[in-house]
């Protein structure tokens, strides 16, 4: 990389770094040396998560928490970070070992997504949450509307069934584990199980159907985490 | 609850709420009514995650990212939030439906942990990240040292093996999936698999052993998420 590329990156980020070492660390893959970006990535991941949560809370403050969680998970996924990293032309400025670079490392989605999170973490370290949040809103704002229309709205039982059928697996089983309260004020606890994964989710609600939805949501979230 | 209890809570939090409705919403379980704390919990969870990440980054900035992630997961677990909620005497101020209250809802760890996150989210909404971070540092600071000594240090392969043996399951299998680079600059990709859970983790590193550790860590994280 050269100075012009670095300066262009800072312009695209809208944040001129005071601490050049911090910027360089965010762009350094661990194959390069010991002063790499993994700890900044740890921090940036949490900054991104909060900034996106806040954005969704503002824009969709009346949506159920489960929908917010689902859309957030979709937005902070590796492929979204990868797209943004490409739009910032990160491949040109990454520092990788020769071997990693020759193997195409600068184009690998995971390396680019990690560097993207590390850059967000670096802005947070240098300029605080307000600056990092403004950056995330600039970068992710346009994706929110797009994502919302794709993943909003489908109920969890339907999604879980589609997920399993897409993998030629049996439909999940639902059973009522317990009920509490009097007839007009009952709470149901339902267990949803997917034997192929030795996986269970528990949900509770004021109706059996609401409890089933919540149990299905929990199983779906775990399956998604497992297979991401 | 009465006014004295609410005022005592705000004193223990170190944050006097300007917006009393926001405080009440944070203390309201969804069994009470539609203006409940689930969306604030969604936000508070992300605030907590970042504030704890920042605390660990400051105190253990030289530790590998995997250790930071593991200790963070341990700190933001339900039982930690539950302990803190009890220390703030939240059971006395929660708003629950009659049925939920009679069933002991105000003592349930999940309800208390959720309200705790919602309170953190409410402070964030009212006073910004700085105020919420200060609150998290006051509440969680004392737990960090305690946690660090418990979960720091054991390597991932050992932990995974112990986890599986504790459940009478077979030891995991490791295999080299690929290698890249020349002899003096090689990168190994290793797959760790646990057939009982149809689960695989992938790790890469400059040595076979380092790649195995990373693959074991990924499997361990997923198993932990599955069984929490």
B222 interfacial to chain A (CB closer than 8 Å): yes
Residue B197 pLDDT > 60, yes or no? yes
**CA distances (Å), origin A7, targets A10, A12, A99, A140:** 5, 9, 26, 22
Per DSSP, B203 falls in state E
Q: What is the pLDDT of residue B207?
A: 86
For chain B, give every domain's residue range: 3-151, 156-227
Per DSSP, B201 falls in state E
Whether pTM > 0.90 for this model: the answer is no
pLDDT digits (tens, 9 = 90+) for B27-39: 999 999 889 999 9
**Pairs of residues, one from chain A and one from chain B, whose beta carbons lie less than 8 Å apart:** 104
Q: How many CB atoms lie within 10 A of CB A152?
A: 14
CB A133 within 8 A of CB A54: yes
Q: What is the pLDDT of residue A227?
A: 63
Q: Which of A197-206, B47-56, B147-156 has the lowest mean pLDDT?
A: B147-156
Mean pLDDT confidence for B137-166: 77
For residue A98, list chain B residues with Cβ-Cβ distance below 8 A.
185
Q: What is the pLDDT of residue B65?
A: 86
CA-based nearest residue in chain A for residue B204:
A31
- Using pLDDT thresholds of 50, 70 and 90, give the confidence band for residue B51: very high
Verify whether the Cβ–Cβ distance A49 to B54 is below 8 Å.
Answer: no
Q: Are strands A187-194 and A199-205 parallel, antiparallel or unpaired?
A: antiparallel
* Active-site residue set of A: 45, 117
Q: Which residue has the higher pLDDT, B148 or B80?
A: B80
pLDDT tens per residue across all 228 residues of chain A: 788 999 999 999 999 999 999 999 999 999 998 899 999 999 999 999 999 999 999 888 778 888 888 888 888 988 899 999 999 999 999 999 999 999 999 999 999 999 999 999 999 999 999 999 999 999 998 888 676 555 555 678 888 887 888 788 888 999 999 998 887 778 899 999 998 888 899 998 888 888 998 899 889 888 876 665
Secondary structure (DSSP) of A140-151: HHHHHHHHHHHH
For residue A132, list chain B residues with Cβ-Cβ distance below 8 A.
none
d(CA B73, CA B53): 10
Q: Are strands B173-180 and B187-194 parallel, antiparallel or unpaired?
A: antiparallel
For residue A187, list chain B residues with Cβ-Cβ distance below 8 A.
31, 99-100, 103
Percent of chain B with pLDDT over 90: 58
SS3 B189: strand
pLDDT digits (tens, 9 = 90+) for B85-131: 999 999 999 999 999 999 999 999 999 999 999 999 999 999 999 99
State chain B's mean pLDDT as an integer.
Answer: 89
Verify whether the Cβ–Cβ distance B197 to A197 is below 8 Å.
Answer: yes
Q: What is the pLDDT of residue B175?
A: 94
Percent of chain B with pLDDT over 70: 93
Q: Which fold has domain B3-151?
A: Ribonuclease iii, N-terminal Endonuclease Domain; Chain A (1.10.1520)
- Using pLDDT thresholds of 50, 70 and 90, give the confidence band for residue B152: low
Four-residue CA torsion sign, A154, A160, A164, A165: negative
Q: A156-227 architecture in CATH?
A: 2-Layer Sandwich (3.30)
d(CA B2, CA B122): 20
Nearest-CB residue to B65 (from A41, A64, A103): A41
Secondary structure (DSSP) of B22-49: HHHHHTB-TTT-SS-SHHHHHHHHHHHH
């Amino acid at each position: 990389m050269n100075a012009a590329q670095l300066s262009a990156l800072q312009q695209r980020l809208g944040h001129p770094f005071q601490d050049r070492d911090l910027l360089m660390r965010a762009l350094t893959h661990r194959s390069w040396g010991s002063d790499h970006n993994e700890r900044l990535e740890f921090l940036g991941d949490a900054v991104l998560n909060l900034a996106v949560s806040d954005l969704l809370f503002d824009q969709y403050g009346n949506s159920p928490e489960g929908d917010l969680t689902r859309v957030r998970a979709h937005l902070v996924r590796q492929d979204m970070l990868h797209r943004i990293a490409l739009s910032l032309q990160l491949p040109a400025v990454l520092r990788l070992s020769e071997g990693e670079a020759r193997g195409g490392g600068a184009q690998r989605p995971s390396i680019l997504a990690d560097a993207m999170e590390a850059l967000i973490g670096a802005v947070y370290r240098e300029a605080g949450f307000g600056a990092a949040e403004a950056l995330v809103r600039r970068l992710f704002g346009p994706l929110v509307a797009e994502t919302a229309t794709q993943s909003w709205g489908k109920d969890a039982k339907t999604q879980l069934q589609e997920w399993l059928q897409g993998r030629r697996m049996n439909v999940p089983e639902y059973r009522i584990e317990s009920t509490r309260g009097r007839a007009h004020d009952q709470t149901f606890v339902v267990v949803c199980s997917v034997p192929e994964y030795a996986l269970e989710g528990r949900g509770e609600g004021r109706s059996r159907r609401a409890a089933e939805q919540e149990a299905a949501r929990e199983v779906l979230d775990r399956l998604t985490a497992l297979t991401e």
